[in-house]
Amino acid sequence: MVMRDGVQQDFDLPSAWVQRWAARIPVGGRVLDVACGGGRHARYLAGLGHRVEAVDHDAQALSGLAGVTGVHARVADLEGAAWPYADGEFDVVVVTNYLHRPLFASLLAALAPGGALIYETFALGNERYGRPRNPDFLLQPGELLKVAHGRLEVIAYENRAVEAPRPALLQRMCALNGAGRC
């Protein structure tokens, strides 16, 4: 728990955006949690009955997922090695607080027909609030919409400032690979 402006905030809780759309994933769905860090979303989604592949480059961060029912943790270099997943392998791909633009095509290809991409990360303008400040790690206005254009059906999209779990400017989207779940 962290105190900010007299309010307790828990950075280990799943994001409200992921919670909002996770409620629409069929129980037992196959989920990929990309750049999962300590696995807050992997734990949450497995707790809802999903089968979760949690991937990150940091073996130490992933070690906390050992023994979590429904979670398979994989150490992988997502930026310097080959993409480790087959096309159409996942019902849902979740990405939060991570941006590596060369992965966009792989993320979309990993979606099964009817699968959902749930994406939330920092947008240009976040530099007013703190890190990240480098534009290489900030989405441009409408960038997630451009990624989805002609490939996914956008169900929800926001580009807005938030106060919790910390002040930030976020861009987030839930989009479907054809008719589906969100």
- The answer to whether residues 21 and 93 touch, using CB atoms and an 8 Å cutoff, is no
Regarding predicted confidence, which is higher, 111 or 164?
111
Per-residue pLDDT reduced to its tens digit, 86-115 = 999 999 999 999 999 999 999 999 999 999
Kindly state whether residue 181 falls inside one of the protein's structural domains. Answer: no
Looking at the domain assignment, is residue 84 inside a domain? yes
Q: How many domains does the chain have?
A: 1
CATH of the domain at 28: 3.40.50.150
Residue 182 belongs to some domain of the structure: no
pLDDT of residue 1: 35
Whether residue 167 is contained in a domain is answered as yes
* Mean pLDDT for the stretch of residues 57-77: 96
Domain span holding position 39 = 2-176
Q: Contact, 55 vs 77, CB < 8 A?
A: no
**Edge-to-edge strand list for the sheet holding 111-122:** 71-75, 51-56, 30-34, 90-96, 111-122, 168-176, 153-162
Let me know if residue 168 belongs to a domain.
Answer: yes
Two structure tokens written together for 131: 């890190």
What predicted TM-score, i.e. pTM, was given to this entire model? 0.90
Please give the pLDDT value at position 180: 52
